[in-house]
Structure 1
């Protein structure tokens, strides 16, 4: 969802560039370079966000795997404890 939000903002920057081009009749202007810098910074931010989202997804998967393994160990420990109790009787 966050990635889509930032992508839509990039589309806004593209639309702004097109409007400035229409106003300047295609002539290069200081606004073009400012918008270009803004666009580059925005794209870099989007790349960083995508990288962080990817890391977050990997972390969440590792956490799920960890909890699954802990659950298996708990079940095995419970079975072992019951068997041990049965043998002790």
Structure 2
């Protein structure tokens, strides 16, 4: 079918994540939460790993039972039940007391 529709050759290349682009990272709201061993605010257990190609979402359970969703690069190697260090940029986050 590809021959009939003109899809004979797909250009070779490597997978690139927009997450690796400094301009994207500067504007991305997910930067409020990131994995960072050097400046972790909290540690948590990975409950879900959602791999979406160029990015991966980690659902991380922290002390007290809350779950954070942390966007990482697509080739992040985190697995279920891993303990991960999460940095929370407090000056950029909004907390609500419900």
TM-score by length of 2: 0.17
More strand by share: 2
More helix by share: 1
